[in-house]
Structure 1
Amino acid sequence: MAPKDAPKDAIVIAIDAMGGDHGPAVTVCGAALLLDERPDVFFQLHGDEARINAELARLPKLKARSIVIHTDQCVAMDEKPAQAIRRRNTSLSNAIHAVKSGEARAIISAGNTGALMALSKMILKMRTDDLERPAIGCSWPNKKGFGTVLDVGANVTSDARQLIEFALMGTAFHRAVHGVEKPSIGLLNVGSEDAKGHEEVREAHKLLRENTLGLNYHGFVEGTDLCAGTVDVTVTDGFTGNVALKTAEGTARFIRDLLKEAFRSGPLAMLGALLASSALKAMSRRIDPGAANGGPLLGLKGIVIKSHGGADARAFSNAIGVGLSLAASDYERDIIESLAQFSQSIAAADAAAGMASNTHIKESSAEEILATADDKVN
């Protein structure tokens, strides 16, 4: 159901207004920027009423399209997930409950990642019993536009089955947000040869290559393929994905700082910067981490979007946009159907393996009986 203050035709989005490094100064302003593009949205702003209203006083359009749901508690950026779970009445937990109850279509938070994941799993539950934890996906800028990479931090290690689940969920996400009907999929590895990589990634590669799930599987990809756009969806474990993501973000900032330093090095350099300003701004937008801000927690019974903690208002509005794209798509049904098909495929494979094992046992038993009979005759 929609909150009483929301128009019947509005898409309701719950915002953890206190989350992130800057709180309402960014989250509320980010909602206002999004509203300029999507006037059909209505916001639930969860958090400290006084601080939120101080921002809303400057944003009359947003004030008319939002409701403030007060709580004087919030989850700190360095708070342990176990502590966050025990404190139920926080801006973060209340925003997630809004999705659980059906009041909101999605929740957006720039807050504590561990707490967001733990509370989302506890309140919303996983999409199926087989899924253990959500996977965090992200849009990754490349030569062709944007790719999708997952997992980028939810699961330190992942077995072959989890990697395939990531492929299914990443495909649904990429289709919903980037509009590619049948995204190509690659497994991130240290080389493209079949023998490269650890056992789990090789096993996932074998299963995906032989898959009957209708996936557009490309094969192994390497780190250089992420920015080349070799595939649409790149699958890896959360440890590797998070290291790759942070490295890419750090490299983008490093390049940007080097360019600023170079163009300020003298009069001619400054003149060159002025002449190339439009091209430089376009490049800066392409490599800006904020342009791809908004990582979904995939596999949950509800739409949960994680924004960078240090995001500015424009980047936070981009994260809200990701939530809206998922809410307007068949993403959730796509995930349910794909995971169900995968579970059936696994069950059929296990049954076939069991039959083969039983046949082997029966054959062995027959051989033992014959051997015993021969011993008695002798």
Structure 2
Amino acid sequence: MTPTGLADLVDRRLPQLLADLEQLVRCESPSADLGAVAASADLIAALGARRLGVEPRRFTVEGCQHVAFRFGTGPIRVLLLAHHDTVWPIGSLAEHPWSIDEAGSPAVLRGPGTVDMKAGLAMAIHAMAAVAERGHDLAGVCLLVTGDEEIGSPTSRALIEEHARGARACLVLEGAGPSGALKTARKGTSWYRIGIVGRAAHAGGEPEKGINAAVELAHLILAVGALGAPEAGTTVTPTVAAAGTTTNTVPAAAVLNIDVRARTAAEQERVHAAMLALAPTVPGATLTVAGGINRPPMPRSSAAGLFAIAGRLADREGLGPLAERSVGGGSDGNFTAALGVPTLDGLGAVGGGAHAADEHVRLDAIGPRTVLLAALIQELAGPEPAAREPG
């Protein structure tokens, strides 16, 4: 198969893409800082309008800002899904500045939020622009950029589902897996917070009059951990825990946070029922369980068809064979897959260190991955792929 020339277009756009990415990274946007997220949304709206030639649509939900670039007035056929919030607090750039290290092997660019997922966002914008530059009609293509993915998408889930419902495909710009693997399956996620109420007493003078919330917390950590099912791929992990006030007081209160990952909805429901059924062990203690299922699992079946198309296009463009991977982390692609929309994830940057001090993006992979994304957009926005002759 003959390459289409997309690589040349993308190569010419790389300096602009990197300049745009630097702007995005320098505009810090931690999820919990709504002012910072709003400033980031302003930047994305201006940048996208300049590169794509369409005016953005802005959505503000409970103070959180989301941005969409939609081509045409008909139904959405191809949804590109990105987020612009990060886990990095304001000031992180001082310790982890934007930089490009071309001396290493491979050359990398660094900065908070690069791989998760501002590089993927910049790549999406320029992939769409490259397809438009070739004269292809982008009618039915939409790029939705949300502002709260890192905290579970509480204000954007309905927006994502509204945009995705009925679409032919959803392409998710999260960072790729190890060695550039696309993500064709994801576990579902659930989050819980258990509050424990006991009774305070002097730890030395009359401890017997207290109800020790810390002891109840210890029992709970063991009980919750036992709910995991490794053979089914289900993990139930106690994470943040706290109890007590002073060293000479029986703790009157404690709290436990739990992270749950499961491959199937049935496993999510099993753990959810068990969490709600938890009972205290220490006499007199009471429990309050908050939280629940956040993202449903994304099964491989939702990505299989798109992965096959991506493999064919990668071969055509001379990008080499594609790998795939099932991962434990959730993304907004879990929501679209649950609607029955074919969803392919991990189409963003190749790199590593998401949420960590060594977060980085491989410079040599940005161009090829942008070409793959552009080829997918061009293919999926045209006539129904299943009706096409093999290319």
TM-score by length of 1: 0.30
Structure with greater contact order relative to length (CA < 8 Å, sep ≥ 6): 2
TM-score by length of 2: 0.29
Q: Which has the higher helix share?
A: 1
Larger Rg: 1
